[in-house]
Structure 1
């Protein structure tokens, strides 16, 4: 299979490439030489690096497009400029890819495009799946809703579209877990606020396996919650992490402290999203890590 991949040097993309070694991959990256260096242990000679899409007038030669590119949403405060960067990095590239798919006489069979569970906004303690329709004024919903809307324009009888509503991806290196570990190792870990907000998490292995499953399943299309079947509250996650590390769990970070430190982006920590991966499991996908304690034990073992 010939795959056009964006975001291949990112947190999820780097891991995904390890599972695409039997495919021919064309990787879109702003810095090809830097990407070659970053991916030197992952590239099995099956990756071609390109810096822009200008050389393509169509995507007739591709079997699939996987679109994971986008400015990290949680790394900086949401200033007006940063919001523009976050949106533009997702929307414009997705529009360009959709235009190329429309220009193809034999377009890719599947377009897999990123999104996030932030689409749902704060749903408190209520469990839900992909059938939930949301009208939310929050910035995460705005970003995801338009991103999905643009990606869905690629759908036709010849091209199916799969949207990845991704939860908090846990990996041995990088991402949210890596930021949490230093204070927890020092015995300074604890819940955020009351800790009652639900956290839709997913082990990195299941994240990339899920993408590959959608790539290889011809009847898969639409929105998919990429998160484990058993979301936990922030307090449950915090307790389990402290227990796994054999550290105390006595401190609590007040909500106002995080709101002061992060501004508007603190909603990423306090919105309660009890999302279930109903569509993925109904397709027949089996999670390697559906419960948080075995997932953390595995991840921390590899982190060591």
Structure 2
């Protein structure tokens, strides 16, 4: 460790209290970066700086001389798509992206790179036999979540930051033991709900949390490329195969079928949407692979084994 705080390169993380944010903060602190988290929390942890995700404020000074800015801010999509929630999901992403753009534009020495969250859900619902979506040949879909993703990337593109390289992270479902979808899936699997969800043909694009952190580091510091990147594992798989891995691991004595109507009921009870598990996402990280990025967990079998210590 350097004794002098300012000799550490500075990494600014907006939306850093989320599952992905907590992991990135730990990951980059271990690499000896000084990580400044822009946070809406009332009680401030050390290295956390208050912001509202909408308006310029004293927080904007933190972007000066930062080696990287990453924005993960946005209301969770794990909720019912009511009108109010839809509005909040959209505006939280657009406002934070827009105001960060204003802050970057005012910097004397702006961040060298700005990575902004997006989502692999930007692509169309993929037919079972369709080719996977790459950045160059992906089909953009329709519907609410696609509108959000498209507007989000549009706001990012519109930000004037001529001296800052910009990368949009089209992230898939990230698997970790302490947040995101995996703990829920594990709980369901132990109850016997590790059967195909709906038809089971829908594709799952996923990524181990360690590979997410490594991909962010790679895109921030080991390439000069910009634009949209699919941040997902190279081997997507059908929902039925993903559930089979969980069934094999947890071996519940009873396995319950999960037809679509039951999922709709369950999603309603859990205040979420079935789209999160029924939409087919077949996405591959073509650009990361072309640049030579190596995944620690290229297959779901490896990821599930690591996450459940099989």
TM-score in terms of structure 2 length: 0.87
Kept in 2: contact 1:195–1:233 (CA 8 A): yes
Q: Distance in 2 between matches of 1:255 and 1:297?
A: 28
Q: Residue in 1 aligned with 2:69?
A: 65
- Structure 1 pair 188–141 and aligned structure 2 pair: CA distance change class (3 A): closer
Quick one: distance in 1 between partners of 2:236 and 2:253? 23
What's the CA shift for 1:198?
0.1
**Aligned-partner SS, 1:298:** helix
- Residues 201-260 of structure 1: per-residue CA shift (max 9 Å, x gap): 100100111111111124121111111100011000000111122335743211122234
SS of equivalent residue, structure 1 residue 111: strand
1:31 is the counterpart of 2:31? no
1:138 match: 143
- 1:228–1:287 CA contact under 8 A, matched in 2: yes
Query: What's the secondary structure of 2:137's corresponding residue?
Result: coil
1:175 is paired with a residue whose SS is coil
- In structure 1, the residue matched to 2:88 is 85
The reply on whether 1:190 has 2:195 as its aligned counterpart is yes
Contact 1:168 1:200 in 2 (8 A): yes
CA distance in 2, matches of 1:226, 1:139: 21
SS in 2 for 1:5: strand
Q: Please, what is the CA RMSD of the aligned residues?
A: 2.0
1:294 alignment counterpart: 302
Of residues 114, 117, 123 in structure 2, which corresponds to 1:120? 123
Q: Which residue of 1 aligns with 2:280?
A: 272
Change (3 A) 1:248 1:131: farther
Q: How many pairs align? A: 290
Structure 1 residue ranges, 4+ long, deviating more than 6 angstroms after superposition: none
Conserved in 1, the CA contact under 8 Å of 2:115 and 2:166?
Answer: yes
Matched, 1:54 2:62: no
Residue 242, structure 1, aligned to residue 247, structure 2: yes
Q: Structure 1 residues 57 and 234, CA, compared in 2 at 3 Å: closer, same or farther? A: closer
- Residue matched to 2:4: none
- Unaligned 5+ segments in structure 2 are 1-8
SS for the counterpart of 1:128 is coil
Instruction: Provide TM-score, normalisation by structure 1.
Output: 0.89
| Cα shift at 1:155 | 6.0
Structure 1 gap segments, 5+ residues each: 37-46
Q: 2 CA distance for matches of 1:135 and 1:115?
A: 13
> What's the secondary structure of 1:191's corresponding residue?
coil
What's the offset of the Cα at 1:136?
3.2
Aligned residues of 1:8 and 1:68 also touching (Cα < 8 A): yes
Matched, 1:108 2:111: yes
Which residue in 2 is equivalent to 1:252? 257
| Mean CA deviation greater in 205-214 or 263-272 | 263-272
Q: Which residue of 2 aligns with 1:181?
A: 186
For the residues of structure 1 that align with 2:140 and 2:237, how far apart are their CA atoms?
24
**Contact 1:170–1:202 (Cα < 8 Å) also in 2:** yes
1:15 corresponds, among 15, 23, 40, to: 23
Distance 1:56 1:49, change over 3 A: closer
